[in-house]
Structures are given as C-alpha cells and as structure tokens.
Amino acid sequence: MSGLVDLIFFSEKRKEILILLTKGPKSADEIKNRLNGDAFSIMPQLKKLKDMDVIVQEKDIYKLSDIGKIIGEKILPLTELLQVFEGNDNYWSTHDRRPIPEPLMNKLHMLGKCKLDEPDLDHLFEFPEDLKEMVFRSERIRSFYSFFCPECPTIQATCAKNGAKVDLILDEKIYDRLKKDFEDTYGSLLENNVSLYIYRGKIKPSSFIISDEFMMLKLFGKEGQFDHRKIMSFNKSAIEWGNELADYYIGLSEKVN
C-alpha cells in the first residue's frame, strides 16, 4: 500500500491525472492539453499509473480502474480541502471556528480554492465596490452580521426592491440598534420585504454573505477580537455550503416579519 501512496502523492502530475480521470475517460491528447503537458511529462506518469493498475488503457483512451475509482473518490475531497487552507492556513488556525457547525466543518472541502481578502485601510467599514456589483445583480442574498455595518442594510433593501430574495440575520444588539437609531433604514427593509431574523446565540461568526456568485465569511479571532479580513470563495459548491450555513443560523433565529 505504501508503494501506491508514494505513487500518487509523491508526484503532483500523477495526482492531477488521477483527479482529471475522476471526471471521465480521456485520451492521451486530452490529458496533455488539460494538464498543459507534453508527451515527455505525461506518458511516463500514465505508464506508472497503469503498471500499478490505478488506470486502464483501451486503445488511446485512459480511465480509472476499480481501484482507481475508489482512490479518486477519496483523494478529490482531500485535494479540495487542502485548497481551502492553501495560502490562508494562518487565518483558519488563529480564528474561532466554533460558529461553523460540525456537519459543515466536515464538508469544508466544498469551499474549494479560497482567497483571503485584505481590506483597503482607507475603506475598512465600507462595503467593497467589487462585491457590491455582484450583490446588486444577484437574485438571492443571505447575510449575517454581528457588528454594525452602516451601509449594509441599505444595500439589502435596494436588492430586495430590485426583486432579489433577501435574508438578513442580525445579532440581537445589532438589530436593536438598527431599529432604534436607523428608523428609516429599518422601515425600508420591512417595506421591501427583506426577511429579517434576530440571532441571540453567544457563538457566532463575525459576518457572512452568500450571493449568486460568491461566499464571504468573517470569523472572530480565538480571543474574540475583530478582524477585517475575510475568506472569499467563488465556487458553486462554496455557495451551496454558504446557503447551508445560512439555513443553520436562520433555524436558530427568530423571524421578525
């Protein structure tokens, strides 16, 4: 078994071939084109995989063997999970992950390749313009805030007014402040049928936004400190994961309207 493990994990190219073939049989030319390789870099790796019975060859077509299918099913989520942490592992290790329920921690690989977004210091409390464009063209927006973002409720109301289905989950203190100190904005949310929820739990994320095009997540530091940085993913599976997170917090919240 160690020989098989070494065969796959000690070669990035062989691992890429295995992952590619989980999506279906491919010709040698297809494999070379998809992996940006040539015959000298690809063919020896195909031979090694074939010799270990991980793949089988039928004329010029390569596909996974029964063993290869089992390995592929296991290696794909692991590869996706490693992409989640690649380049931003320090964020995950230094922040409070408790707000992510266990079933979603077990599916963290769905986030795929993530980006750790560093905010512009001159616009720390402003909603990013690039994300605003994507939010405005979304048909569904689901957000959670445990800090007050002055611009965000107005953005949510505008999206709802334009026909989007909007869920807005607010920490109880944030909801109370919005209702008391920003009556016009609060009224606009209700008028435009934004679904408002109050969350009273102690364990909570800093914020998250799920749109049609991206998933954004902010966590507090392990000591409860606020961090402006955020994890971004634009994968479809990440958006699906984010919607499950929104469903989880809606299930724990009180609906206002």
Same domain, 68 and 101: no
Stronger pLDDT, 8 or 163, i.e. the higher one: 163
Q: What is the pLDDT of residues 33-85, one digit of tens each?
A: 999 888 888 999 999 999 888 999 999 999 999 988 988 887 877 777 778 88
Alpha helices (H) in 52-171, listed in sequence order: 66-85, 89-94, 102-105, 129-136, 152-161
Q: What is the pLDDT of residues 215-245, one digit of tens each?
A: 999 999 999 999 989 999 999 999 999 999 9
Mark which of 81, 113, 148 sits at the end of a domain: 81
Query: Are residues 104 and 39 part of one domain?
Result: no
Q: In the prediction, which pLDDT does 3 show?
A: 61
Task: Give the separation between CA 252 and CA 201, rounded to whole angstroms.
Answer: 8
Same domain, residue pair 16 and 104: no
- Round to whole Å and give the CA distance between 168 and 38: 51
Number of structural domains found in the chain:
2
- Look-up: residue for tokens 């026909």? 163
- H helices within 147-257, ranges in order? 152-161, 172-181, 183-191, 236-251
Q: Which of 31, 49, 81 is the last residue of a domain?
A: 81
Same-domain pairing of 243 and 144? yes
Q: For position 194, what pLDDT does the model report? A: 92
Query: Pick from 81, 100, 116: which residue ends a domain?
Result: 81
- Position 4 scores a pLDDT of 63
Same domain, 44 and 155: no
Q: Which of 173, 200, 203 is nearest to 96 (CA)?
A: 203
| Residue 11 reports pLDDT greater than 70 | yes
Tell me: do 115 and 15 sit in the same domain. Answer: no
Mapping DSSP to helix (H, G, I), strand (E, B) and coil, where does residue 141 land? strand
Residue 87, Ramachandran bin (φ over 0: left; ψ between -120 and 50: alpha; else beta)? left
* Residue 117 sits in the same domain as residue 240: yes
The whole domain housing 213 covers 89-255
CB 194 within 8 A of CB 157: yes
Indicate if 21 and 143 belong to the same structural domain: no
Return the CATH number at 7.
1.10.10.10
Among 108-122, 135-149, 177-191, 216-230, the range scoring the smallest mean pLDDT is 108-122
**Same domain, yes or no, for 76 and 97?**
no
Strands of the sheet with 165-171, listed across from one edge:
115-117, 230-233, 215-218, 207-210, 140-145, 165-171, 195-199, 254-255
Same domain, 185 and 153: yes
Residues 103, 54 share a domain: no
Domain of 138, CATH number, reads 3.30.870.10
Task: Give the other-Cβ count within 10 Å of 244's Cβ.
Answer: 15
The answer to whether residues 110 and 208 belong to one domain is: yes
